Amino acid sequence: MTNQKLTVVLVHGAFAESASWSGVVERLQDRFIHVVAVANPLRSVSGDAAYLRDVIAGIDGTVVLVGHSYGGMVITDAAAGNDKVAGLVYVCAFAPDHGESAFELSNRFPGGTLGRALTAYPVTSGGNELAIRPDAFHHQFAADVPPARAALMCATQRPVTETALTAGLPTDVPAWTSIPSWFVFSDEDRTIPVALHRFMANRAGAQGVREVSGASHALSVSHPEAVTASILDAVDAVVETPA
């Protein structure tokens, strides 16, 4: 991949939006790395992955995909069999195997409290949409973020369909089985238990693992430097430095 253009594509998860990557984007741009923060539709794993594949198809050169939370489901499906994707970075994210859903994985180990923080309401397209209640958002999602910032994040959160969180990974061969991966996560994540993060990183044979002490699920907001460091590890590994 010498001299090949590279783009870092950031994919947010449920209850967040693309601006949640702002601190990471700034740090990558400071390194003159091309970066795109995608607006994840949060409608279904297969549909969201199809949209991400369209985004990737429009990018010239190699791609490193970075997913936060449910965004990990999406990048795992979208990157499967995609020759343009050279690396995967999971940021407090799900790295599912075939048939595994976000809800099923989050309940595999104790410690997750997301279910108690959610509110559900029907949508005209069918089924329910889920959001984190304002009274629970700071504690559940972003406990190490200043209250004013957490209130802003709550007001701008993108709801997700129940289908997106309960449907299993469609692809038979998840991308992490053939594409090198890096994991960065929090040891006080209340949405995805740290035991699950460790399990998924080990199962994927991660090239690198960073565990951030005392951090929340909103790692890209509270610790953008740690997230950026893991992304740079991936970039350095997949792109050779020109002589």
Q: What is the mean pLDDT of the chain?
A: 95
CB 49 within 8 A of CB 63: no
What pLDDT, on the 0 to 100 scale, is given for residue 33? 96
What pLDDT, on the 0 to 100 scale, is given for residue 240? 61
* pLDDT beyond 60 at 243: no
What pLDDT, on the 0 to 100 scale, is given for residue 224? 98
State the average pLDDT over residues 76-89: 97
State the average pLDDT over residues 127-131: 96
pLDDT band for 242, please (50, 70, 90 cuts): very low
Closest C-alpha to 71, from 26, 18, 125: 18
Does the CA dihedral 36-25-233-6 come out positive or negative? Answer: positive
* pLDDT beyond 50 at 65: yes
* Eight-class DSSP state of 21: G
Q: The tokens 């740690």 sit on which residue? A: 226
Q: Is 30 exposed, middle or buried (0-12, 13-18, 19+ CB in 10 A)?
A: exposed
Contacts of 107 (CB under 8 A, 6+ apart): none
Percent of the chain at pLDDT > 90 equals 95
CB 20 within 8 A of CB 218: yes
- Residue 117 has, within 13 A of its CA and on its CB side, a CA count of 18
State the average pLDDT over residues 48-74: 97
Name the least confident of 1-15, 118-132, 143-157. Answer: 1-15
Contacts of 24 (CB under 8 A, 6+ apart): 10, 35, 66, 220, 224, 227, 228, 231
